Amino acid sequence: MTPGTADRPLMPIEDFEELERRAPETVRLEYINGKLEVKAALDGNHRSIFMWLLRQCMQHRPDLDLVPESGVKAEAYRKGRARTDGTLVPVDHFKGDGEWSDPDSSLMAVEITSRDRDTNQRDRIDKPIGYAEAEIPVYLLIDRDNHTLTVFSEPKDGRYQQVSPHAWGVTVQLPAPVNITLDTEKLKDYAD
């Protein structure tokens, strides 16, 4: 069978959503760029990095929620389904939504790289495209392999116009509409 692409998806989105509903709770599925993806299980450093970011977001922007494991309708025309490591949204934004929410009013999508063979394609290539196509203003990639934090911003025509990588340990200003300054020194504790 030929792998799926955005132009020739592996399956209709309705079939993916049914498959995802029936999957065991321990299996996290995504549908990105026409391909079915299994998202890796979280390890302790991954969870600790998320909590570091959550504390910083709460301190600087108590008017927002950093929602973990958000199911977001991504890509052009919302044909994809991505499970972010975190989505920064107004408080109670996802209230009443089902498993997959429209990204409207999402300020930032967050991914923390995992230790699996698909992380390069998924987190560094496919997700920036999907989130830009969904017009999420900021995509924050916390890259555990490269010890970098990359800020993607200004989505236009399905691509982020600004891509700004930063080494762990520096201060990083997340652009509007996020407007949070991150002290990334703590990330060095999670280098492995």
**Across residues 92-111, what is the average pLDDT?**
92
Lowest mean pLDDT among 5-19, 84-98, 126-140, 146-160: 5-19
Which pLDDT band holds residue 33 (cuts at 50, 70, 90)?
low
**Across residues 111-116, what is the average pLDDT?**
84
* Whether residue 37 has pLDDT greater than 80: no
**Across residues 108-136, what is the average pLDDT?**
87
Task: Specify whether domain 42-190 bears CATH 3.90.1570.10.
Answer: yes
- What pLDDT does residue 63 have? 96
User: How far from the centroid of its chain's Cα atoms is residue 190's Cα?
Assistant: 19
Q: Percent of the chain scored above 90 by pLDDT? A: 54
Cα 77 from Cα 70, distance rounded (Å)? 18
Name the more confident of 12 and 52. 52
Lowest mean pLDDT among 77-81, 143-147, 164-168: 77-81
In the 3-class helix/strand/coil scheme, how is 101-146 assigned residue by residue?
Answer: ECCCCCCEEEEECCCCCCHHHHHHHHHHHHHHHCCCCEEEEEECCC
- What pLDDT does residue 108 have? 98
Domain ranges (residues) in the chain: 42-190
- Stretch (H or E) spanning 73: strand 71-74
Residue at token pair 């993607």: 152
* Whether residue 31 has pLDDT greater than 50: yes
- What pLDDT does residue 25 have? 64
**Across residues 111-135, what is the average pLDDT?**
85
